[in-house]
Amino acid sequence: MGPATSSASPPGLCRNRGRARPGDRCHRRGPLPRGDIRTESFAETRLAPGAVDLVIGNVPFGKLTLHDPDHNAGRHSIHNHFIMKGLDLTRPGGLIAVVTSRFTLDAKADAARQAMAERADLVGAIRLPAGTFRAAAGTDVVCDILVLSKRPLVQRFEVSRGCRSPRS
């Protein structure tokens, strides 16, 4: 397989002079004519709950909390907030795949993990070794790739000390 020509685009990917730019909105044609691919700040994304089938992202890192009463009532860190917002915007049965800091899974406080566990099932988690992003970003931070499946509302669970029990 050789390199694609400069005018080639995979289905659903729009090119603007060969590059996608932040803020570009691309509309998919073909089998999923209503598909919508966005390259915008997720903090500014406004969609109805359950509006998307899939969220893929590299969540922002930092000791920062954004004001977002719709998706972050628990005032979680920015990386956990973005995961929960992704889950809120994903339809039941949809997937969210994110690169996040190791603190999503390793934090001593478990409120964010409990909130995620109430909304979704963990499909898989991969711990990336320190140094994975050294060449690209100049950091030795340890990150995880998480894949979550949004649970239907009727299958939501209450999470208590690591055990799940169906809500009555």
Which has the closest alpha carbon to 146: 69, 75, 55? 55
Query: CA 161, CA 50: separation in Å to the nearest integer?
Result: 28
Instruction: Report the range of poorest mean pLDDT among 3-12, 115-124, 144-153.
Output: 3-12
At 103-114, the pLDDT tens digits run 899 988 888 899
At 36-95, the pLDDT tens digits run 777 777 777 888 889 889 999 888 777 777 777 777 777 788 788 899 899 999 999 999
DSSP letters, 86-144, are HHHHEEEEEEEEEEEETHHHH-S--HHHHHHHHHEEEEEEEEPPTTTTHHHHS----EE
Confidence class of residue 8 from pLDDT cuts 50, 70 and 90? very low
Query: CA 74, CA 81: separation in Å to the nearest integer?
Result: 9
Query: CA 56, CA 100: separation in Å to the nearest integer?
Result: 11
Which residues, in sequence order, are CB contacts of 83 under 8 Å at separation 6+? 59, 96, 98, 100, 104, 112, 116, 146, 148
Q: List beta partners, residue 19.
A: 16
At 124-159, the pLDDT tens digits run 999 998 888 888 888 888 899 999 999 987 655 555
Q: Answer yes or no: are the C-beta atoms of 140 and 130 closer than 8 Å.
A: yes
Domain boundaries, the chain: 41-162
DSSP letters, 8-22, are ---TT---BTTB--T
Q: What pLDDT sits at residue 7?
A: 43
> How many whole angstroms from its chain centre is CA 122?
13
> How many whole angstroms from its chain centre is CA 100?
9
CATH superfamily of domain region 41-162: Vaccinia Virus protein VP39 (3.40.50.150)
